[in-house]
Structure 1
Amino acid sequence: MTGVLLIAVVAAGAPNDHTIDAAIPLLHLPALAGPASTYLTLAAYGAQGLGLIGMLAALRRGWRPRPRVMFAAGTAAACLLTLATPVGSADMASYAAYGRIASLGLDPYQVVPAQIGGHYAHLVSSIWVRTASVYGPVATFVQRLAAGIGGDRVMVTIGLLMAANAAAYVATGVILVKAAGDRSRAALLWAANPLLLALLVGGGHLDTYVAFFGVCAVVLASRPQDWQGEALIGALLGLACGVKISAALLVLGLSLPLLRARCWNRLLTRSLVCLAVLVLLYAPVGFHAFAPLGGASHLVSTPSFWQLVQIIGHALIGPSATASLISAAWPLVMVAAALLLLRHRSNPEPLPRLDRPRWETPRWEQSRYAHALSLGWNLAAPWCMPWYTAMTWPLTALLPRSRTDYLLVVLTTTLALMHNTGGHGWSW
């Protein structure tokens, strides 16, 4: 947990180059001046990645930590990070601003933070201060609720959002540890995962809610369900998409095994309820809420092999044609990556023969497809942040160990090292 403590020091030493330009007074140290915050942040993410690789290797050699101890340590770390200023990203300031816009009776999908001004707009990164919300109605509801309580006190709003996010993280850990076949592995890969504690809890990212709803759906989908159970799975998936539309990959991943098994009734029930929930969520806010996603879909982040395509394309065919080419090509690359991941993932241990209906898939099967699509997305998407792996980690925790575990650690660590500026300019 050395890496988590280092991140806590950076968060408590706000404002600095890796936090928002304010400080939550609950856990506050003197502000870190100069490059000190950068050195500590890089050391923290490096220690977290190396430590996680070491613990995964120890699990392969037979180490079995007590799940309760791991869970307790992770919960304590989550509580510590919740008391400090958001670190590594300014997204929490954007969440608060969108909530403030909604609480004022305005439309966060049309009104941008710059238009409301004040302390809320001041904390938003200059890159996003003139960007409308790209998050779903569920996210907007949580943000509006927090801002309604916080009012003009932006740090109260941010503190409430941090606490709610940490609660979702801990709840996800409870479900994973109880449901997983290997509880020690599940506790390590989520509840006590130092990378995720720093990124999701320390950064306060909404991806935690996607993971929560997704895990609930995956655990239910792993067991035989009647139509009511399938309806509940569909509702949970609809709520996940109502946080971030990228959760549609989870919907697709959980649907593929049903398609292969020709379980039409289950698939139809789940799909119709998921669609109905989305319609009910978006109808009050208007379907123009999807409009801001169009601009975000053309972004390319660092590091991404699409940057090379972008540079060459700009020189040969122009920016507009290059953007269209990348938008059309990356889903194909994602599918190809998912197929490779499915082929190379280790086969799970044989399941006991049970007297089950013919249509029931093995318990891990639906998670396997969803995991391959999610990790394929993390690898292939032109715009990928380290917290986007939040949907992949819990699926990994439910599956048998594989070499792709190390791939996910390396990917998340690399992205964390590249994207940790707290909304400021590049700080290396």
Structure 2
Amino acid sequence: MSSSAGRLARYAGLVGSVLLAVAGYLGGALPDAPLNVTPVSIWRAPGGPATLACWLVGTALLVGAWWSLRAGAPSSRWACVTAALWALPLLLAPPLGSRDVYSYACQGWTYAHGVDPYAVPVAAAGCPWLETVAPIWRDTPAPYGPVFVLLAALAVTVGGGLTGTVVLLRVIAVAGMLLAAFCLPPLARATGVPTRRAAWLALAAPLVGVHLVGGAHNDAVMLGLLLCGLLVAVRRPGRPGALLLAGALLGLAVTVKASAVVVVPFAVLVGASGRTVLRSGAWLGGGLVAAVLGSSALTGLGFGWVGGLTRSGDSEQWTSPPTAVGFVVDYAGALVGRDPQAVPVARVVALVLLAVVLVALWWRTWRVWRRADAGSGGLSDGSARCRVVLHGAGLALVATVILSPVFHPWYATWPLALLALSAARTTWFVLPAAVAAFLALPDGTNLARFTKAPGALAMTVLLLFLLLGRWRHAPERSPHP
């Protein structure tokens, strides 16, 4: 790649980032911004055309710059510097792409004032910032683990008012991304993947800058702890102390956001030495259980957050494939005068399928990992074994994102980090992440809400097309990444 191409991508992305920040000030998720708006109402609002123009052009520039270097930046340091440069305008902008940060603030306020956020929704708790929270989340319990609720309460206590709390929640998100940036290069070296590619794909992605930094989503903290736990396991395989620490870090990731749990079985293989899978699993599991039980006990919150997870699906959008299929079945039923109520059924079926897929992915990964002991299958070196395991973990996160009852654009950052460290081909996961960057408007309006029927039909057709293609070409596929 020429230096001129790198400079062009860097500064095109910077211009895009600045435009997104401008859109945030013109019509972002500001505390007093109107709720339940539509793209038409945004357009008609004062400064609406300028808001949408800045947002769409800025997103296109940022996505285009990231896409142009998907094969790898000039160096990992260059990638990190560029990602930081792009994040700076977003760091100074109002909350972008979502109002979730206000939910975090109210949940932290609830806990800081001695009320259990898993038992009492923020509306009933009397949060003074309730009007900033999206209506759908005002009467639901917190779905996040005790560690993140504790961090949110700390932000409320130190920050004082709403502005200070939001600033500190963004600082916490940035700390999570810094931890991820610290772990990515050594993990890339462990898997034999170019560090310049891994750092670029995982850190410079528009979804990271806009949603994890600009939106201050707790996914940033989860990813930082997740990658740190994997790095400890990779660096000291078979060492009881290291496995305990790795398990504790993974447990903390789970107690921020429960979706991290699907990576744990793969972390056991990463941390195993030789055939010591059971012993590795025992030590790593011990650290994880200690972190989960310890954080639940120390915060006094127990496991109420597990029940809160069941309310995360209250939002129904076609961007979740199971929900889209349910929509299409309901539409077909309506044509013949029936009301199948297929969405809940499709979601339950998808969760059962997810459990089966996760077991199958781990079993397949374990079989390939086990053959490495005999030096067969081209996996005689440690980097190839590590790459296979992290690829399996990345696919597990892909399955989790695809088969979950709800999908938000920032969910795509979960598998993005691990696949950047392990996948041989990148287009198949970089392209969806690029498309997802266009799904939200600066004030948090999700465009999927306004394209329900055509979006559901398109998603269902795409799903059938991919399944058919997978079935037709399955014998030609290699089990290795």
TM-score interval for Structure 1 and Structure 2 normalised by the shorter chain: 0.7 to 0.9
Pair 1:225-2:238 in alignment:
yes
For residues 291-370 of structure 1, the aligned pairs below 5 Å read 291-297=307-313, 299-314=315-330, 315=333, 318-319=340-341, 322-332=343-353, 336=357, 362-370=385-393
- Aligned partners of 1:11, 1:69: CA distance in 2, in Å? 23
Pair 1:281-2:295 in alignment:
yes
2:213 corresponds to which residue? 201
Pair 1:377-2:400 in alignment:
yes
Q: Which amino acid aligns with 1:44?
A: G
2:250 corresponds to which residue? 237
- Aligned partners of 2:251, 2:217: CA distance in 1, in Å? 19
For residues 98-247 of structure 1, the aligned pairs below 5 Å read 98-117=107-126, 120-151=129-160, 153-181=161-189, 182-223=194-235, 224-247=237-260
Q: Which amino acid aligns with 2:259?
A: S
How many residues are matched? 403
1:96 corresponds to which residue? 105
Deviation (angstroms), 1:312: 4.9
8 A contact 2:102–2:133 mirrored in 1: yes
8 A contact 1:102–1:140 mirrored in 2: yes
Q: Which amino acid aligns with 2:68?
A: G
Asked which structure has the greater RCO (Cα within 8 Å, sep 6+), the reply is: 1
1:28 corresponds to which residue? none
Deviation (angstroms), 1:168: 1.7
Q: 1:183 to 1:259 in 2, by over 3 A?
A: closer
Pair 1:46-2:69 in alignment:
no
Pair 1:268-2:276 in alignment:
no
Q: Which amino acid aligns with 2:89?
A: L
Q: 1:325 to 1:68 in 2, by over 3 A?
A: closer
- Aligned partners of 2:212, 2:314: CA distance in 1, in Å? 24
- Aligned partners of 2:199, 2:321: CA distance in 1, in Å? 33
Q: Which amino acid aligns with 1:207?
A: D
- Aligned partners of 1:304, 1:155: CA distance in 2, in Å? 33
8 A contact 2:440–2:446 mirrored in 1: no
Aligned with 2:49 (options 35, 59, 70): 35
Deviation (angstroms), 1:385: 1.2
- Aligned partners of 1:100, 1:340: CA distance in 2, in Å? 40
Query: Which structure's residues are more often helix, by fraction?
Result: 2
SS in 2 for 1:401: coil
2:431 corresponds to which residue? 410
Q: Which amino acid aligns with 1:332?
A: L
Structure with larger Rg: 2
8 A contact 2:17–2:87 mirrored in 1: no
8 A contact 2:97–2:445 mirrored in 1: no
Deviation (angstroms), 1:74: 1.7
- Aligned partners of 1:180, 1:311: CA distance in 2, in Å? 41
Q: 1:109 to 1:76 in 2, by over 3 A?
A: same
**Which digits, 9 at most, give the CA deviation of each residue in 1:288-307, with x for residues without a partner?**
22222122246543323323
Q: 1:10 to 1:32 in 2, by over 3 A?
A: farther
Pair 1:422-2:443 in alignment:
yes
8 A contact 1:364–1:399 mirrored in 2: yes
Deviation (angstroms), 1:386: 1.5
8 A contact 2:96–2:444 mirrored in 1: no
Q: 1:311 to 1:351 in 2, by over 3 A?
A: closer
8 A contact 1:3–1:43 mirrored in 2: no
SS in 1 for 2:437: helix
Deviation (angstroms), 1:177: 2.2
Deviation (angstroms), 1:121: 1.0
SS in 1 for 2:201: helix
Gaps of 5+ in 2: 1-9, 34-44, 366-376, 451-481
8 A contact 1:125–1:423 mirrored in 2: no
- Aligned partners of 1:209, 1:116: CA distance in 2, in Å? 26
Pair 1:401-2:417 in alignment:
no
Pair 1:290-2:306 in alignment:
yes
- Aligned partners of 1:196, 1:91: CA distance in 2, in Å? 15
- Aligned partners of 1:15, 1:221: CA distance in 2, in Å? 43
Q: 1:317 to 1:218 in 2, by over 3 A?
A: farther
Q: 1:48 to 1:333 in 2, by over 3 A?
A: farther
In the superposition, the TM-score normalised over structure 2's length comes to: 0.74
SS in 2 for 1:222: helix
SS in 1 for 2:69: helix
CA root-mean-square deviation = 3.3
8 A contact 1:149–1:157 mirrored in 2: yes
- Aligned partners of 2:381, 2:311: CA distance in 1, in Å? 50
8 A contact 1:75–1:170 mirrored in 2: no
In terms of mean alpha carbon deviation, does 275-284 or 142-151 score higher? 275-284
Q: 1:353 to 1:206 in 2, by over 3 A?
A: closer
- Aligned partners of 2:395, 2:224: CA distance in 1, in Å? 18
SS in 1 for 2:415: helix
Pair 1:19-2:29 in alignment:
yes
- Aligned partners of 1:72, 1:340: CA distance in 2, in Å? 35
Deviation (angstroms), 1:198: 1.8
Deviation (angstroms), 1:374: 0.8
8 A contact 2:19–2:55 mirrored in 1: no
